[in-house]
Structure 1
Amino acid sequence: MSDDLIVRRPEGLYCPAGDFFIDPWRKVDRALITHAHADHARTGSAHYLCAAPGAGVLRARLGGISLQTLAYGEALRIGEVTVSFHPAGHVLGSAQVRVEHQGQVWVVSGDYKTQPDPTCTPFEPVRCHCFITECTFGLPIYRWRPSHEVMAEVNQWWQGNGAAGRPSLLLGYSFGKAQRLLAGLDPSIGPIVVHGAVEPLNEAYRAEGVALPATLRMAEVKDKRLYQQALVVAPPGAARGPLARTLAQASDAMASGWMQLRGARKRAGVDRGFVLSDHADWPGLVQAIGATGAERVIVTHGQEDVLVRWLQEQGLQASAMATDYGGEAANDVALVTEAPASQAASETHDTADSPSPGSPHSSSQHSP
């Protein structure tokens, strides 16, 4: 619509009244960044603005950029609008962008999750008239178990491998997922080793006061026998390189929301799949959208059609917007991509197959 606060341009999501872009996918003059994942924070823009807790990670990933920061909740006037950043609970420094103009409030979510996470500030609902939301896992089958239960299984798997003298290789995206995994590990089980791509992000987290266990870089391991009791955290893309030769006898596992699908676990070719996502599941999406009080919802990157249809059934003005964001499908590993909606229901865990309150297949209604 002509009076929309945020519109789609070839460069990305654009605010005409403020003359800035949010998470642009091309080079622009002024970029407001929700978080430092590569599909949302790209090099080449002249000026960047982000939430203060994410500055260290953003600089670590983009280098010597012109960067201005705002504390969560701090307001800044840009052109004709007032902007502020609010916690998204996705990764360290992740933020929703609130844009206000002449009494209208829009919020761009970036990526977010509603589950507790000791490595980042919890998601904070922001009241608005229009909410632009991700829906990476926008199907009712996606329902996450409590994180502490998943991490208890990870520690048990590691301990069992160590008792057999077998290395444990745990695959997770180097920014966000790796640190969340590290925060939940029990260091009394054995040494914790990280891939070279993970440790620089660990340093940025520690600099922001996030408690992580002591880790060794793989390059620092002199005696390979250490791996027999160790857990190694590495990005999925490293599994087929020299790492595979170093840990030839390892039991491997992947931590991802996609691990809820049996087909995804098979495609990943790992011994274990731990269902742990840095994105909201279906109940989380429903809860987050409802908490905004928005009458209008714009859905991006994920199962847009399913969520849009459900929101419309609740009486909301809902539509989809195409973007260049890839969510966890891009961040984790190409072969663990989302199955089509028609396949996902048959691939999920048996316990997630049946309808439950809040799903499009349930008679209960959600009040936003």
Structure 2
Amino acid sequence: MALISFTDKGMYCEAGQFYIDPWQPVNKAVITHAHSDHARPGSQSYLCHRDTLPLLKLRLGPYNYQTVEWNEPVYLNEVKVSLHPAGHIIGSSQIRVEHKGEVWVVSGDYKTEPDGISGVFEPIPCHTFISESTFGLPIYNWKPQHEIYHDIQNWVRSNEVAGKTSVLIGYSLGKAQRILQALEEVTGNIYVHGAIWNVHETLLQAGFKLPAVQRITPETPKEAFKSSVVIAPPSADGSAWMRRFTNHSTGICSGWMQVRGNQRRRNADAGFALSDHADWQGLLQAVKATGAQKIYITHGFQSVFSRYLNEIGIDASEVKTEFGNEEEETQSQDPTIEQ
């Protein structure tokens, strides 16, 4: 029997009697990171990295949590489990599972270029590697982070000169913190949507150092936004919440902006291909670095990526999961969005 099986509740280790990132409530859940498609409520207990804990509490509420440091082994029914950096978002981890000499690694979501915030992706030697393929097409080839940051900074400066508000769209957890990192050099006049404010405050209370921001409320005067920067989640784009910004330009921060047509379809003024996932080369490098004899592809461009791996002599298969939709903010979660 395989060390990890794919069930209707999620990835299950029968020998250890635990699930990894289950999408239904279970007794024991081991969590790679705090995005909503990987961390869901209702389980009896959760094991995660220490930096993920405050984010899980924010997202899920009070539960029975256990935390570990990276590379700190724990034993679940004689199965050795350890967490290792995935580089995706703060606290994101790969899960290494070892039993009777067999090693599997569940990567969750990951990126291979260090971002200075999320920990540095660490290839883990294993027999079987479970990988995403969100951007598993050769067209996805990211520019270095510092170049993308430079593009964002220049765009913000040009908007400031024109007296425009720069509205940057990105996920509240992961992308927003990287956008702030890019903005730190060019402005201290940063406003954020309530969903981003909640994550920001949680991270500050957990001891992370982040640039100062101001929360947008119904009382925030419209003139305050002139020549300022606003960070908002994708759920706010095109909503009534956006109407408070009159003379503004919108920039979307997403790997999907690598394809020019996506910027036009989203009716954005600018697109920055800033992604928290590995690009095509990053995925290939990660898979090869594990030395795994078997690869399972969970979500993304599964058929293309797995077919290519098989063509180059790496045994790969697709598996069906419920991962892949990180958009966790909805209008109902933030009372300011309809103002």
Q: 1:185 aligns with which of 178, 183, 187?
A: 183
CA distance in 2, matches of 1:190, 1:200: 19
Offset at 1:309?
A: 1.4
Offset at 1:223?
A: 3.4
CA distance in 1, matches of 2:208, 2:121: 17
Task: Describe the superposition over 1:124-152 as per-residue Cα deviations: whole angstroms up to 9, x where unpaired.
Answer: 11110000000100011100001111111
CA distance in 2, matches of 1:38, 1:58: 9
Q: 2:132 aligns with which of 131, 134, 144?
A: 134
**Matched ranges for 1:334-353 at <5 A:** none
- TM-score normalised by length of structure 1: 0.86
2:82 corresponds to which letter in structure 1? Answer: S
1:262 corresponds to which letter in structure 2? Answer: R
Asked if structure 2 preserves the Cα contact closer than 8 Å seen for 1:39 and 1:325, the reply is: yes
CA distance in 2, matches of 1:249, 1:74: 51
CA distance in 1, matches of 2:58, 2:304: 37
2:153 equivalent to 1:158: no
**Matched ranges for 1:104-115 at <5 A:** 104-115=102-113
Structure 2, gaps ≥5 residues long: 331-339
Asked if structure 2 preserves the Cα contact closer than 8 Å seen for 1:194 and 1:217, the reply is: yes
**Matched ranges for 1:1-368 at <5 A:** 3-186=1-184, 188-219=186-217, 222-327=220-325, 330=327
CA distance in 1, matches of 2:188, 2:161: 10
Q: CA RMSD in A?
A: 1.6
SS at match of 1:299: strand
Task: Describe the superposition over 1:74-114 as per-residue Cα deviations: whole angstroms up to 9, x where unpaired.
Answer: 11110131101001000010000000010000000000001
Among the aligned pairs, what percent are the same residue? 48
**Comparing 27-36 and 308-317, the one that deviates more:** 308-317
Asked if structure 1 preserves the Cα contact closer than 8 Å seen for 2:157 and 2:186, the reply is: no
Asked if structure 2 preserves the Cα contact closer than 8 Å seen for 1:126 and 1:291, the reply is: yes
CA distance in 1, matches of 2:200, 2:143: 25
Structure 1, gaps ≥5 residues long: 334-368
Compared with structure 1, are the counterparts of its residues 96 and 50 closer, same or farther at alpha carbon in structure 2 (3 Å cutoff)?
Answer: same
CA distance in 2, matches of 1:210, 1:148: 21
Asked if structure 2 preserves the Cα contact closer than 8 Å seen for 1:190 and 1:229, the reply is: no
SS at match of 1:219: coil
CA distance in 1, matches of 2:303, 2:59: 33
CA distance in 2, matches of 1:198, 1:147: 21
Asked if structure 2 preserves the Cα contact closer than 8 Å seen for 1:253 and 1:273, the reply is: yes
Offset at 1:206?
A: 2.7
Asked if structure 1 preserves the Cα contact closer than 8 Å seen for 2:188 and 2:212, the reply is: no
CA distance in 1, matches of 2:114, 2:21: 25
